[in-house]
Structure 1
Amino acid sequence: MPIPDLSRRSVLRSLAGAGALALGLTACSELDDPDQDGAAAPGTGAAGGRRFGAEWEKHTRTFMAWPASENVWGDQLDDVRKDIAGLAAAIGAREPVVLMARPGQEEAARQACGNDVEVIPLPVDDLWARDTAPVFVEEGGKVRGVDFNFSGWGNKQEHGNDAKVARTLLTKYGIDRIATPVVAEGGSFETDGLGTLVLTESSVVNANRNPGMSRDRVEEELKKALGVTKVIWLAGVKGKDITDAHVDCLMRFVAPGVVLLDKAFPGTPADVWSRSADQAKSVLKGATDARGKKIEVIELSQPDPDRITGRGDAFVSSYMNFYIGGKGVYLPRFGDARADDQARQVMKEHFPDREIVSVKIDAIASGGGGIHCATHDQPATGG
């Protein structure tokens, strides 16, 4: 049932206040017949050679969005806009960034972000481009976009504009739209680019997104839409944050067969989030990827909650919510110097040819998200 006039940030805060959330937790050629469009055909993927590429592959651009509404952010709006501007400028110095801004707010966004960021007028409600933009796949030498029917994370936040972002972007850039009956968000999915998809059951097999749809049916539709051949399900956590525990705050691929996994700061009392990470560790260590290979799991601890500079009941202190750009890896800086440095070193080991860029995002993180939530990569044709 919809929760009227509540932001991602305020929903998270109210859930946390009830004891539910702990630190570290969130001209187009339309093809609107999902059964016809997603029919299996010969190829490298499950649907006619369709492939959901890994984030570390070459990008055409990175999409971001300018936070638009005081109804969503209240007195935090100026601070979160500064964070978005800083992040957009950091990425824009290294690869093309397109920032969507509500008409009438473009000039302020341009002035804040600088000349390296292209600002386009496009109606948005909030900053979470990972969830509102289409999920891009490659097929037949072209990039196409899956529209996952954004619903404000199950009607928890106003989303009249954000629900149209995927379709609008695809039309603007002349990219074919792939329809699917599944309601989901970009932060729901993690892939190795070789046919493996990892996601939390809590965020997709959920009556607030896909009522009456079984896990088997969801998996079937995801294979059609994304071209993946192996789906690994993690349990996740229902009803404790607005996303119902997106996978991109829990684990990330850093190479085929290698994942980073969030771990609570040592000595932190067990809670639903640490138990979720333990369950994910068990599943991943026992799983094989689409190639039949075992998966290596590397745990990365959260920072000391007494040393971080950000605050708030909804604050996300997971290093998992990083973004892999073409020339840089963008990693949150939380203020615990030891933990921040450890996270940088881990990233450097896995991405030695990319600059590791630490970005302070305290205002974004206070709203229950992170760098990955605020960015969305469009792959270049051919990877």
Structure 2
Amino acid sequence: MNRRGFLAAAGLTAAGAALATATSGTARAAAGPFRVPAEDGRHTRTWMAWPDSTSIWGGALSGVQADIALIARTVAKYEPVVVCANSGSAAKARSMCGSTVTVLSSIPVDDCWMRDTGPVFRTDGAGGLDAVGLSFNGWGNKQTHAKDALVAERIAAWTGVAFTRAALVGEGGAVEQDGSGTLMATRSSLVNRNRNPGLSESRIAAALCDAYGASKVIWFDGVRGQDITDDHVDATSRFLSPGEALVQMPLSTDTDAYARDARQQYATLSAATTSTGGPIDTMSLQGPDYDKIRSTNRDFLASYANYYLCNGAVISGQFGDTRADAAARATLARLYPDRRIEQLDIDRLGTGGGGIHCVTQQQPVV
């Protein structure tokens, strides 16, 4: 059972995607000196998690573990990597990840999605570091998460930084930040009663701004009820810098809910402004042809946009559409000329509905 197919398999698929017209962002005053920096800054380390549950992954577990190990080893070429593993599977994690990766058995986990379960680290520009937890609830109580709900707080304690819990329920993959006061997110994921019942969009925006040290949220309508995340933004749209953004675009012939969602995100960003009122230069990253990728699973997530920035490199997926893979590599090389581009075959993880950004969480240098 994978993240995109979860609801359909459970018989809970919504009648349709919640897609409407593009609307403007929600703004408010920034709350304090701490702010989540842009991902392209220097990192102290990358945090990951080791999956070991056959009740979640079934027969796909060994392949997903191989992908997690590959990602960990690749990132470890550029910066330290710490993988949280349950004590019973820590030895296997160490064996598969190799000596360049640290495996920590004191922080138990349910699954591998560290972007969603891990702490969101913030800096104050003066040597200070703290962490915020987004009160992870298993993407709206769709999956077991008793251990994962405590991961953010436990990692913060391990690093010795102050920890606070945000005044909303969400996941790190549901929010993109530019490091200068602007956020983007989907309503389908956060303005949703399975996370934040009774909270208005404006209250959720305020809580996001408080948590991230931001002052504006650019909202996309998103896709509701079609995958376990309710459409995380980091699979489609990313900030490149303040005033610059990237959207993975579908083929012109693609007409499904996610294709319509991507086009709406592009239109919204193209018309939006940053927290300081400047325009957002929005560029496109062409997605692959699903008829040409290796996977034949209809729920496969082939997201080049779900890349991870680490010290000196961009870690991205490649999916077997050779022309699109090469074009994505060239686009990322142009956008990040001072970084090495690493493209990985993560098809097992993609079949599970996630990507490289979904399973990594950066701890910034202060």
Distance 1:188 1:353, change over 3 A: same
Per-residue CA deviations over 1:187-240 (Å, capped at 9, x if unaligned) read 011111111111111111100000000000011111112110121111111111
Match of 1:346 in 2: 331
CA distance in 2, matches of 1:326, 1:265: 32
Provide the secondary structure at the position in 2 that maps to 1:373: helix
* Equivalent residue for 2:252, pick from 255, 266, 271: 266
**1:14 partner amino acid:** A
Distance 1:21 1:130, change over 3 A: farther
- Give yes or no for contact 2:7–2:225 (8 Å, CA) kept in 1: no
* Equivalent residue for 1:61, pick from 41, 45, 53: 45
Deviation of 1:20 (Å):
7.6
Alignment partner of 1:215 is 2:201: yes
- Give the share of equivalent positions with the same residue, in percent: 44
- Give yes or no for contact 2:224–2:230 (8 Å, CA) kept in 1: yes
Distance 1:7 1:331, change over 3 A: closer
Deviation of 1:12 (Å):
5.2
- Give yes or no for contact 2:5–2:227 (8 Å, CA) kept in 1: no
- Give yes or no for contact 2:2–2:353 (8 Å, CA) kept in 1: no
**What stretches of structure 1 move > 3 A for 4+ residues in a row?**
6-10, 15-22
Match of 1:75 in 2: 59
CA distance in 2, matches of 1:251, 1:332: 15
* Equivalent residue for 1:153, pick from 139, 152, 175: 139
CA distance in 2, matches of 1:17, 1:48: 40
Match of 1:379 in 2: 364
TM-score norm. by structure 2 comes to 0.92
Match of 1:96 in 2: 80
- Give yes or no for contact 1:12–1:368 (8 Å, CA) kept in 2: no
Alignment partner of 1:328 is 2:313: yes
Match of 1:25 in 2: none
CA distance in 2, matches of 1:182, 1:276: 24
- Give yes or no for contact 1:12–1:314 (8 Å, CA) kept in 2: no
Match of 1:226 in 2: 212
Deviation of 1:9 (Å):
6.5
Alignment partner of 1:52 is 2:47: no
Distance 1:256 1:77, change over 3 A: same
Provide the secondary structure at the position in 2 that maps to 1:79: helix
Per-residue CA deviations over 1:22-73 (Å, capped at 9, x if unaligned) read 9xxxxxxxxxxxxxxxxx9xxxx81221211111001010001111200010
Deviation of 1:107 (Å):
1.0
Match of 2:192 in 1: 206
**2:281 partner amino acid:** E
Distance 1:126 1:324, change over 3 A: same
The aligned runs of 1:1-383 (5 Å cut-off) are 8=3, 11=6, 14=9, 46-121=30-105, 122-139=107-124, 141-268=127-254, 270-381=255-366
With 256-265 and 110-119 compared, the bigger mean Cα shift is at 256-265
CA distance in 1, matches of 2:328, 2:4: 26
Per-residue CA deviations over 1:316-359 (Å, capped at 9, x if unaligned) read 01211110111110010101111011111111111111100001
CA distance in 2, matches of 1:362, 1:21: 27
TM-score norm. by structure 1 comes to 0.88
- Give yes or no for contact 1:12–1:313 (8 Å, CA) kept in 2: no
- Give yes or no for contact 1:12–1:367 (8 Å, CA) kept in 2: no
CA distance in 2, matches of 1:16, 1:234: 26
Per-residue CA deviations over 1:285-324 (Å, capped at 9, x if unaligned) read 1111122211111112211112211232321012111101
How large is the RMSD of aligned CA atoms in angstroms?
A: 2.0
CA distance in 1, matches of 2:153, 2:12: 36
- Give yes or no for contact 2:13–2:225 (8 Å, CA) kept in 1: no
CA distance in 1, matches of 2:285, 2:15: 23
Provide the secondary structure at the position in 2 that maps to 1:294: coil
Distance 1:289 1:9, change over 3 A: closer
Distance 1:306 1:15, change over 3 A: farther
Distance 1:74 1:97, change over 3 A: same
- Give yes or no for contact 2:13–2:226 (8 Å, CA) kept in 1: no
CA distance in 2, matches of 1:278, 1:10: 22
Gap runs ≥5 in structure 1: 1-5, 23-39
**1:75 partner amino acid:** G
